[in-house]
Amino acid sequence: MANAICRSCRNPLQHLFVDLRTSPLSNNFLRPEQLNQGTANYPLRVFVCEQCLLVQLEQFETPQSIFEEYAYFSSYSSSWLAHAKKYVDTIIPRLSLGNSSSVVEIASNDGYLLQYFTPQDIPVLGIEPARNVAKQAQARGIPTVSEFFTWAFARKLVSERGTADLIIGNNVLAHVPELQDFVAGLKELLSPAGTITLEFPHLLRLMKENQFDTIYHEHFSYLSLLSVSHLFARHRLTVYDVEEWPTHGGSLRVFVKHAEHDGLAASPHVEKIIQEETVYGLRDITTYFRFPAQVKAVKEQVYRFLFQASGENKQVVAYGAPAKGNTLLNYLGVGTDYIDYTVDKNPYKQGLYMPGSRIPIYAPSRIQETKPDYIVILPWNLREEIEQELQYTREWGAKLVVWIPKLEIY
């Protein structure tokens, strides 16, 4: 990453966090006719900024090439829908939102969250750059604009619709290559007494629980409360509350206001999380250098499992075709030589092949048809939900497997 600079503070990047070799874009699923074609691979080398502590990837592709057509639809996870509904049920009374309020969600996907505001007659707008996903939201009656969120676009929105009392961004901040422009847009769009809520996987959880498979090219940044606070402060925005959630292996939800707005007092939760990060060592650059050894330990465990299963002629398949699964398989160099196929509930992915590993993706009914010996749960963050769905596989003695944070067979 020669001459690269931090996307948050513009400091030169000199320190490697982890090197996961090379990999294709994790959501670039292949059609059958593409199997005889080459696939572009990019380095998956992650760096940490010693100045503002942002962990980050270099940008290899434009957001347009990654996100204008996207294979992830939020509504296929029942647990994520329940999480979204719980958020809406609590944020409406907390912020006293009503039919004169304005709610904007950035990266609103297929309307999975905004759909819960509409029965309350609260005006909403979704901003979703992936046109194929935005169409699903529009079909549900959710007003959705298919654009990337920038400072210029925020100014246009304000001139046309006014400012927003609540701006929501779930799992979007990490996907933004131009962080300064994005946060400037948030500042522009937010009403004087408004709130921004952003959810993102917590770097502390990633490091503690070895969640290296959540590193992929669509995730440009890996965020701690320390690094996020630095970023917002540069734009006169302040984190005034934070919540911890189990989603995506452990996430933070931050509540952000204009720094000049005195009506929202800071919660003690903010200092609590900062203290946890400090105690773990996230202010010390040498803490980050220990991560590669954790990654190597998982690789060795998984290889032993696959070699043994292969030697015993056991059939191994996977459940799910998430981006994190593609990172893991490509880092390990595992394909159909060890995993026959995977299944996914999303019809958009069925009939396609996973990028890099070229493992075929079927509907979940395929498991009943082939009765495999082992089923590897690739979206381990949905482990409990998937375990319930796979109860029937116990009939023939199938065993479930997770690889992160360590190998478990049960």
pLDDT tens for each residue of 143-179: 999 999 999 999 999 999 999 999 999 999 999 999 9
Indicate the range of 154-158, 312-316, 380-384 predicted with least confidence: 380-384
pLDDT of residue 59: 75
Give the tens place of pLDDT for each residue, 228-282: 999 999 999 999 999 999 988 899 999 999 999 988 889 999 999 999 999 999 9
Other CB atoms within a 10 A radius of the CB of residue 119 amount to 8
Q: Grade residue 223 by pLDDT with cuts at 50, 70 and 90.
A: very high
The single-letter DSSP state of residue 2 is T
Instruction: For residues 404 and 299, give the distance between their C-alpha atoms in angstroms, rounded to a whole number.
Output: 10
Q: Per-residue pLDDT averaged across 31-39, rounded?
A: 94
Token couple for 244: 């911890």
Given a contact cutoff of 8 angstroms between Cβ atoms, the answer to whether 356 and 329 are in contact is yes
- In this structure, are residues 250 and 277 in contact, taking their beta carbons and an 8 Å threshold? no
Residue 410 has pLDDT above 70, yes or no: yes
209 conformational bin, left if phi > 0, alpha if psi -120 to 50, beta if neither: alpha
Q: List b or e across 48-61, with b for residues whose CB sees 16 or more CB atoms inside 10 angstroms.
A: bbeebbbbbbbebe
Mean pLDDT of the region 82-99: 97
b/e 214-247 (16+ beta carbons within 10 angstroms → b): bbbbbbbbbbbbbbbbbbbeebebbbbbbbbeeb
Average pLDDT over residues 381-390: 94
In the chain, the domains with their CATH numbers are 66-288 (3.40.50.150), 303-409 (3.40.50.720)
* Rounded percentage of the chain residues whose pLDDT exceeds 90: 89
Rounded Cα–Cα distance for residues 245 and 234 (Å)? 26
Residue 351 neighbours by CB distance under 10 Å: 13
The C-alpha atoms of residue 80 and residue 92 are separated, in whole angstroms, by: 19
Question: For residues 190 and 186, what is the distance between their CA atoms, to the nearest angstrom?
Answer: 6
The token pair that represents 359 in the structure block: 């493992």
Separation of alpha carbons 214 and 222, rounded Å: 9
Across the range 189-201, mean pLDDT stands at: 98
Asked if residue 231 lies in contact with residue 211, where contact means CB atoms within 8 angstroms, the answer is no
Can you give the pTM of this predicted structure? Answer: 0.90
What pLDDT sits at residue 263?
84
Q: What is the pLDDT of residue 67?
A: 55
Instruction: Return the DSSP state at 59.
Output: P
Q: Are strands 55-57 and 42-48 parallel, antiparallel or unpaired?
A: antiparallel
**CA-based angle 334:1:356, to the nearest 5?**
20
Predicted confidence band of residue 1 (pLDDT cuts 50, 70, 90): very low
Mean pLDDT of 331-335: 96
Quick one: which H or E segment has residue 208? helix 203-208
In 3D, which of 301, 317, 298, 327 has the Cα closest to residue 390?
317
Rounded-to-integer distance, Cα 80 and Cα 191, Å: 28
The residue whose two tokens read 């707005």 is 261
